[in-house]
């Protein structure tokens, strides 16, 4: 069955430090991969997506992610975290054969220390 | 284009009551999705529409849940005889169909937070 695993429930980093959020997926076909961010009480905002091609994708707010097929991973990175990045981050895989529905991980809550 | 809107934003109800939520997608999007998000979890797929046709329903969608999209524009999600376990954030998303390319990203609304007392 298709699934997404985000092994870290909480991560705390200092402002200005680098960030990496981990995501592993289980899916037999070509994955369409996404990272979304959710601030408290808000909906989901798309940070970046991977469909095909270059395995390093750039997104909004200075985020990037790297797709590694051999590791079934799609980790999110940012070189220097800002206090406004504190939020919950969700990795998701899109299932083309099921109407493009999204399967999400459980999320990683990012806290930023000043 | 004001994005996906959902109403109400918050709903508090007593167990056993019926509730209805509305979602207005981005105007040119003909796919519409409903997801449910419980505390500490990622969103889970409930159902989706292509125009007015409901094409898939999750096993999470018990017979107390019904969704409609009568004219292929806005959609409603109704929960009958609510239970405390229905307390969650209900998210709506819309997208273009995958015609020009295999996959089009989904744009999410702010959600409706349901609390069942």
Contact present, A30 and A52 (Cβ < 8 Å): yes
Contact flag A49-B105 (C-beta cutoff 8 Å): yes
Contact flag B42-A101 (C-beta cutoff 8 Å): no
Residues 37-96 of B with CB under 8 A from A: 40-45, 48, 50, 55-56, 91, 93, 95
The percent of residues in chain B predicted with pLDDT above 90, rounded, is 77
Q: Which chain B residues have a beta carbon less than 8 Å from that of A107?
A: 40-42
Q: How high is the pLDDT of residue A46?
A: 94
Write the CB contacts of B63 (distance below 8 Å, at least 6 apart in sequence).
Answer: none
Q: Which chain A residues have a beta carbon less than 8 Å from that of B102?
A: 32, 51, 96
Residue B113 pLDDT level (bands cut at 50, 70, 90): very high
Report the candidate in A31, A22, A29, A1 with the shortest Cα–Cα distance to residue A93.
A31
Q: How high is the pLDDT of residue A44?
A: 93
- DSSP β-ladder status, B112-116 and B10-13: parallel
* Helix, strand or coil, per DSSP, at residue B29: coil
The answer on pLDDT for B1 being more than 60 is: no
Using CB atoms, which residue from A90, A94, A105 is nearest to B103?
A94
What value does the mean pLDDT take over residues A16-35? 92
Q: How high is the pLDDT of residue B98?
A: 64
Residue B10 pLDDT level (bands cut at 50, 70, 90): very high
- DSSP β-ladder status, A87-95 and A73-78: unpaired
For B43-52, what is each residue's pLDDT tens digit?
A: 999 999 999 9
For A58-109, what is each residue's pLDDT tens digit?
A: 999 999 999 999 999 999 999 999 999 999 999 999 887 777 889 999 999 9
Contact flag B33-A92 (C-beta cutoff 8 Å): no
Half-sphere exposure of A10 (CA within 13 A, CB side): 4
Please give the distance of CA A55 from its chain centroid, rounded to a whole number: 14
How far does A90 lie from chain B, in Å, by closest CA? 7
Higher pLDDT, B66 or B40: B66
Q: Which chain A residues have a beta carbon less than 8 Å from that of B44?
A: 104
Contact flag B56-A51 (C-beta cutoff 8 Å): no
Q: Which chain B residues have a beta carbon less than 8 Å from that of A41?
A: 110, 113
Contact flag B91-A44 (C-beta cutoff 8 Å): yes
The answer on pLDDT for B24 being more than 70 is: yes
Contact flag A106-B41 (C-beta cutoff 8 Å): yes
Distance CA(A89)–CA(A109), nearest Å, equals 6
């Amino acid at each position: 069955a298709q699934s997404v695993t985000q092994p870290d429930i909480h991560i705390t980093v200092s402002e200005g430090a680098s960030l990496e959020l981990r995501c592993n997926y289980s899916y037999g076909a070509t994955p369409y991969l996404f990272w979304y961010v959710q601030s408290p009480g808000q909906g989901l905002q798309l940070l970046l997506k991977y469909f095909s091609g270059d395995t390093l994708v750039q997104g909004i707010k200075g985020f990037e992610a790297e797709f590694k097929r051999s590791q079934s991973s799609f980790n999110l990175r940012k070189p220097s975290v800002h206090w406004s990045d504190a939020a919950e981050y969700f990795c998701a895989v899109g299932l083309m054969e099921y109407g493009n529905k999204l399967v999400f991980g459980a999320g990683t809550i990012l806290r930023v220390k000043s | 284009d004001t994005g996906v809107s959902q109403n109400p934003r918050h709903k508090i109800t007593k167990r056993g009551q019926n509730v209805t939520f509305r979602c207005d997608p981005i105007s040119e999007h003909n796919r519409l999705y409903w997801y449910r998000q419980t505390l500490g979890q990622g969103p889970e797929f409930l159902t989706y529409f292509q125009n007015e046709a409901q094409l898939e329903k999750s096993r999470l969608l018990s017979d107390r849940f019904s969704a409609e999209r009568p004219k292929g524009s806005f959609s409603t999600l109704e929960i009958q005889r609510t239970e405390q376990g229905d307390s969650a954030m209900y998210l709506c998303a819309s997208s273009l169909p995958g015609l020009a390319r295999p996959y089009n990203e989904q744009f999410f609304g702010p959600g409706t937070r349901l609390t069942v007392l």
